[in-house]
Amino acid sequence: MAIGFAQRMSEVKASEIRELLKLTQKPEVISFAGGLPAPETFPAEQLARATARVLAEAGAQALQYSTTEGYPPLREWVARHMNEKLATAVSPEQVLITSGSQQGLDFTGKVFLDEGDPVLCESPTYLGAINALRAYGPRFVEVPTDDDGMIPEALEAILAREPRARLVYVIPDFQNPTGRTWSLARRQAFMGIVRRHRVPVVEDCPYVEVRFEGVPLPPLKSLDEDGLVIFLGTFSKIFCPGMRLGWVAAAPALLEKYVLVKQGADLQTATLAQMQVAAWLEDHDTEANVERACAIYRARRDAMLRALDREMPAGVRYTRPSGGLFLWAELPERLNARDLLEACVERNVAFVPGGSFFPNGGHENTMRLNFSNMPEERIAEGVRRLAGVLRELLGRSEPDSKVQEFEGSKALAGN
């Protein structure tokens, strides 16, 4: 008898990013592939002391089952942090602690999607969200997007012809994969449109605090007057990713559904991990930790941009992000970034081909470059190798003096 699998498994593919991350295990590879935070930002010794205190003072509680919604002091910290830093109006009761924000994406599919339901997203968008939602069989509708965010007129037209749209998924701040940030005008226009159409919004905000310059902009959640925005947050970028702690913040009627699917998925997020992080937060200055990380990432972004400006041939365009962990590049249309990657791996340098970030395919002449997890000298060397392979594919021997940028990309520094 042949083993049968659920039909949805035909839609589940291996993550190209996770497969590429295997390359980073080889020390000789200069990897611009994964979105790995810099390990030197992880407060390992401080966390060890916090863990010892938790186990000494409340070991039985830390090693026991807990509530699905999460450890109350951690939920209180999340609500207070969002309200003080992001100008939201969230109560602890509106917060669910998840096993990373990726779990929030999976739960979004369970809560909202039946097969064939339209999901609207930026073009391009986060590959992890595409993979999480695709398991539920939706139909992805890519909304035209530029340096300022989703184009309002395009969004309005799509929602008018897609009355069954179940949700809109967006990353307004330092987007993965492009590094772009929505303007305030676009945020306000977007919220006006979704309010008229009464469509839920999933606002994924892992990078909102990883800002290098410019003035912080209000998240969509802070502009939400109707309880339509579901905010996904994470400790992975402001603390450390290995703890696998994130959160969902949403209106009570929406959060209730996420709690129900959390109960069926894993009952609760690990009690010990929640108490470890809560204890660390109680004793340490989170903002100082984030500022230290941002200083490292700013220097590495600058190193990558200097190297790209110096090495890249004309016809290659790239963003100049003012925060986050990534920048985005477009190659001449006749090139395929997957072919470039295959040649680059032979030179021990890696990146993520950009076609994976378009749920409906195409755009194979694009790539995502991560700058957060390599020291500056290796970034420079990696870009030199990448550009050398690219020039070979283009049939050129030297860097061109003129480098092209995305139109409006310099303005991103002020977003």
pLDDT tens column, 309-324:
999 999 999 999 999 9
The answer to whether the beta carbons of residues 233 and 82 sit under 8 Å apart is: yes
Q: For residue 345, give the 3-state DSSP assignment.
A: helix
Q: Give the CA radius of gyration of the chain.
A: 21
Query: pLDDT above 70 covers what percent of the chain?
Result: 91
pLDDT band for 410, please (50, 70, 90 cuts). Answer: very low
Closest CA to 285 of 293, 274, 297: 293
Locate 285 and state its tokens: 């200055």
* Tens-place pLDDT, residues 350-380: 999 999 999 999 999 999 999 999 999 999 9
Q: Is 413 exposed, middle or buried (0-12, 13-18, 19+ CB in 10 A)?
A: middle
Long-range contacts of 333-340 (CB under 8 A, 24+ apart): 333/365, 334/365, 335/365, 335/390, 335/393, 335/394, 336/364, 336/365, 337/364, 337/365, 337/366, 337/367, 338/364, 339/393, 340/367, 340/386, 340/389, 340/390, 340/393
Look at residue 43 in the predicted model and tell me its pLDDT.
94
Q: What is the mean pLDDT of residues 240-248?
A: 96
Residue 12 pLDDT > 70, yes or no? Answer: no
pLDDT band for 20, please (50, 70, 90 cuts). Answer: low
- Strand 139-143 and strand 118-122: the pairing is parallel
Residue 401 pLDDT > 50, yes or no? Answer: no
Least confident of 63-67, 253-257, 408-412: 408-412
Look at residue 204 in the predicted model and tell me its pLDDT.
98
Q: What is the mean pLDDT of residues 15-44?
A: 80
Domain extents for the chain?
14-42+288-414, 45-283
The rounded distance, in Å, linking the Cα atoms of 250 and 167 is 14
Q: Enter the DSSP assignment of 330.
A: E
pLDDT band for 406, please (50, 70, 90 cuts). Answer: low
Report domain 45-283's class: alpha beta
CA dist list (Å): 190 to 79, 147, 164, 315: 24, 15, 18, 32
The rounded distance, in Å, linking the Cα atoms of 308 and 399 is 10
Look at residue 408 in the predicted model and tell me its pLDDT.
38
Q: What is the mean pLDDT of residues 139-159?
A: 97
Residue 15 pLDDT > 70, yes or no? Answer: no
Closest CA to 70 of 98, 91, 108: 98
The rounded distance, in Å, linking the Cα atoms of 386 and 341 is 9
Mean pLDDT of the chain, nearest integer: 92
The answer to whether the beta carbons of residues 348 and 385 sit under 8 Å apart is: yes
Residue 409 pLDDT > 60, yes or no? Answer: no
* Tens-place pLDDT, residues 321-351: 999 999 999 999 999 999 999 899 889 999 9
Task: Round to the nearest angstrom and report the end-to-end CA distance of the chain.
Answer: 59
Residue 405 pLDDT > 70, yes or no? Answer: no
Q: For residue 318, give the 3-state DSSP assignment.
A: strand
Look at residue 5 in the predicted model and tell me its pLDDT.
72
The answer to whether the beta carbons of residues 353 and 311 sit under 8 Å apart is: no
Residue 230 pLDDT > 80, yes or no? Answer: yes
Could you identify the residue written with the tokens 């699998």?
A: 5
* Tens-place pLDDT, residues 150-186: 999 999 999 999 999 999 999 999 999 999 999 999 9
Locate 217 and state its tokens: 């902009």
Residue 21 pLDDT > 90, yes or no? Answer: no
pLDDT band for 18, please (50, 70, 90 cuts). Answer: low
Q: For residue 1, give the 3-state DSSP assignment.
A: coil
Superfamily of 14-42+288-414 according to CATH:
Aspartate Aminotransferase, domain 1 (3.90.1150.10)
